[in-house]
Amino acid sequence: MKRVLIIEAQIKQYRVPFYERLYAALLDAGIELRVAYSDPSSIEARKKDTCDLPKEYGVKVNGYWVLPERLIFQAVFRQIARADLVIVDQGNKFVWNHFLLPLSQVGLMRVGFWGLGENRQAGRLWLSEWYRRKTLNWVSWWFAYTSGTARYLIDNGVSSSKVTSVQNAVDTSEIRNYVQSMSAEERSSIRNRLGIPASAPVGIFCGMLDKVKSVPFLIDAAKLIQQRLPEFHLLLVGGGPEQEPIRSSIQDFSWIHLMGPRFGSQKSELIAISDVFLMPGRVGLVILDAFAGGLPLLSTRLSIHGPEMEYLEEGVNGLLSEPDVSAFAAMVTSLLCDREKLDRLRMGARIAGAKYTIEKMAANFCNGIQEWLGGPATLGVRGQA
């Protein structure tokens, strides 16, 4: 049985459903999966969003962080030596990458990258980014986050024959099922509990309350929306470093509800009573929460969005404005006043939610591994969305 090793710094909770499905799919194809990972760094541990994997395929190893958590060395030599394929994160922080990539380049090991290709985050060291681009073609296979990532790789010299677009996703089935099963009476009851009239337009934000998400921008825009639509309510769902400053800034506005971190059914019920998903700052995988709840995503045109932002089709399942408070507020207000357009965008969001799923991501990943090993894909079209 061929063995595939994936190396992660730590395991985020949202990745567990993906690994469960990938492990099962590969096992059915006669391929053994092992995922090596370590305890989170002190910075990551504060987020309280990591966990362990089942021992059937999870291998927890010692990890040693150096240079104020900029580099990690993991005790994975034994796992690497036993693997037919090794898949690593496209990150310069992994010490092992700097040994594996040269071996891959000269054909002594079969190493694959899993990543986003282009790094759009500001503040990166030029040398780090030069090295990142230089090594794009040093691996024998690429598992690209999205179709846009795949296009970037191909445009930068990576052969399309060794790129699989996995269409990065999270498990949103709980949100989808919860929202679809809720009755009008249940939605009305939740709104009543929060002091929101049954017919009031509601916008929701879900995410980390930090600078990159532009929550103060959203609050300023919401005040303009509320001036034109006095019944408008805003739900802020999440926690983070800006939670207390935000709490202070909205204490005089009863129609802005700071809900704190919510998960599972508690988050799903808030999505279910909302009309639009508002995220003027950086957008990543949270776009799939919006689509799972049948909500169009309303955001701004920024260069720092995650690759998943390409799932937004403007005018189909969401809208974009310039990164200006007045422009964003005008876009949201106009949509909330146009029921026909809002219903059309909500339908588009539901269709997109069924398109980008954790099941399809696992199937795409499994197909890529099988092709890399020299066999045919067995779970549908390669790189299928």
Cα–Cα nearest to 79, from 171, 4, 18: 4
- Tell me: pLDDT of 329 over 60: yes
**Can you tell me the distance from the alpha carbon of 383 to that of 165, in angstroms, rounded to the nearest whole number?**
5
**How large is the C-alpha radius of gyration of the chain?**
22
Q: Do 297 and 193 form a contact (C-beta atoms < 8 A)? A: no
| End-to-end Cα, the chain, rounded Å | 29
Q: Do 245 and 265 form a contact (C-beta atoms < 8 A)? A: no
Query: What residues contact 324, with CB distance under 8 A and at least 6 apart?
Result: 300
For 137-149, how does the pLDDT look when each residue is reduced to its tens digit (9 = 90+)?
A: 999 999 999 999 9
Name all domains of the chain by residue range, CATH numbers in brackets: 2-169+358-372 (3.40.50.2000), 173-355 (3.40.50.2000)
Q: How confident is the model at residue 347 (pLDDT cuts 50, 70, 90)?
A: very high
Tell me the two tokens of residue 120.
């759009």
List C-alpha distances in Å: 156 to 118, 149, 234.
Answer: 10, 11, 43
In sequence order, what E strands does 215-281 have? 233-237, 256-260, 276-278
**Can you tell me the distance from the alpha carbon of 164 to that of 162, in angstroms, rounded to the nearest whole number?**
7
Classify strands 63-66 and 71-74 as parallel, antiparallel or unpaired. Answer: antiparallel
Q: How confident is the model at residue 385 (pLDDT cuts 50, 70, 90)?
A: very low
> Chain-wide mean pLDDT for the chain?
93
pLDDT of residue 44: 86
For 219-242, how does the pLDDT look when each residue is reduced to its tens digit (9 = 90+)?
A: 999 999 999 999 999 999 999 889
pLDDT of residue 240: 87
3-state SS class at 176: helix
pLDDT of residue 45: 87
38 half-sphere exposure, CB direction, 13 A CA radius: 17
For 21-69, how does the pLDDT look when each residue is reduced to its tens digit (9 = 90+)?
A: 999 999 999 999 999 999 999 888 887 889 999 999 999 999 999 877 7
pLDDT of residue 381: 41
Question: Look-up: residue for tokens 């679809």?
Answer: 180
Tell me the two tokens of residue 129.
């980014």
